[in-house]
């Protein structure tokens, strides 16, 4: 599943190329997770002012409203001057004066949703409960520490929930917890202020490095230029069950938390 770094890498790979373009046509394939929310013709003629990101959503700022794009479980975007004919899994395509933007999503959990503004009900339903942006200036340490103290759940599950800090998905939660030396099963409210500070710092470092490395390509992720990511090659624990920890040499362990695999080192990460 594309996580925050993959979405940010995708944004960076086409945002400057599509900015200022005029929408010439919109084509919808099979239904996605949510309806478009407007007539396809309503988008034609609008200028795309820029592309932002909120959590795992891409926000295309239009002259009148915003278009929210989500990659779902297995989606990817392509943007080129001219793309090949649409395939069976290409469910949203927007032709602009600068090129074609296409969403390929085999499982159709992705979305393309129009909203009149970011304050509109449809946008707030998707964005309103998202937590702090971990790569942004609003990732406030005191607020993060206070939020942890209010949660009984294991810290890994708190990070994945997205209502305290957004976009720290499965791969990067495992990696950040390893960097901070915190076992993923530890109750969030039991984490001391010093350890919370280390985790806050680790989240920033891990996500920033993942963006720098183009995200993680475990199966078929690629950015809007068709380029794969390489962060997975640097993972300290994720996907390394049974292999020696790169720090202490003990075997990396794996458990299931909330139907997701969690990887950690039993010696380096303390409860």
Provide block-wise average pLDDT over 10 residues at a time, the chain (271 residues).
92 98 96 94 97 97 97 94 94 98 95 97 96 95 97 97 95 97 98 98 97 84 87 94 97 94 97 93
The catalytically annotated residue of 3, 6, 8, 175 is 3
Catalytic annotation on 31?
no
Q: What is the pTM of this model?
A: 0.94
Catalytic annotation on 260?
yes
pLDDT, position 218: 73
Place of tokens 């969030």: 188
Domains of the chain, each with CATH number or no CATH: 4-127 (3.20.190.10), 141-265 (1.10.8.50)
All residues at 6 or more sequence positions from 258 whose CB lies less than 8 Å from its CB, including other chains: 157, 160
Place of tokens 């990817």: 76
The catalytically annotated residue of 56, 108, 156, 195 is 56
Catalytic annotation on 149?
no
pLDDT, position 219: 67
Q: Distance (Å, rounded) from C-alpha 95 to C-alpha 259? A: 39
Q: Distance (Å, rounded) from C-alpha 82 to C-alpha 88? A: 18
pLDDT, position 230: 87
Place of tokens 């001057």: 81
Centroid of chain to Cα 38 = 25
The catalytically annotated residue of 52, 151, 225, 260 is 260
């Amino acid at each position: 599943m594309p996580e925050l770094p993959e979405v940010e890498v995708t944004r960076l790979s086409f945002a400057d190329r599509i900015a200022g373009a005029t929408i010439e046509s919109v084509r919808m394939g099979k239904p996605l997770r949510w309806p478009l929310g407007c007539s396809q013709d309503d988008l034609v003629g609008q200028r795309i002012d820029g592309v932002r990101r909120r959590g795992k959503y891409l926000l295309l700022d239009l002259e009148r409203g915003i278009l929210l794009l989500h990659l779902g479980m297995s989606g990817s975007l392509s943007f080129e001057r001219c793309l090949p004919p649409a395939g069976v899994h290409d469910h949203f395509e927007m032709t602009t004066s600068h090129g074609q933007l296409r969403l390929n999503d085999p499982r159709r959990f992705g979305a393309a949703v129009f909203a009149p503004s970011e304050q509109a009900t449809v946008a707030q339903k998707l964005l309103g409960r998202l937590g702090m942006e971990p790569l942004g200036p609003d990732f406030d340490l005191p607020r993060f520490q206070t939020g942890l103290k209010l949660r009984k759940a294991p810290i890994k599950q708190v990070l994945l929930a997205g209502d305290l800090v957004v976009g720290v998905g499965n791969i990067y939660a495992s990696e950040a917890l390893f960097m901070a030396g915190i076992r993923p099963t530890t109750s969030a409210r039991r984490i001391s202020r010093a350890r919370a500070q280390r985790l806050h710092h680790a989240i920033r470092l891990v996500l920033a490095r993942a963006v720098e490395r183009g995200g993680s390509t475990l199966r078929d992720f690629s950015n809007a230029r068709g380029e794969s990511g390489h962060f997975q090659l640097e993972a300290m624990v994720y996907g390394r069950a049974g292999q020696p920890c790169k720090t202490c040499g003990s075997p990396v362990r794996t458990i299931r938390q909330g139907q997701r695999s969690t990887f950690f080192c039993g010696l380096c990460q303390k409860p």
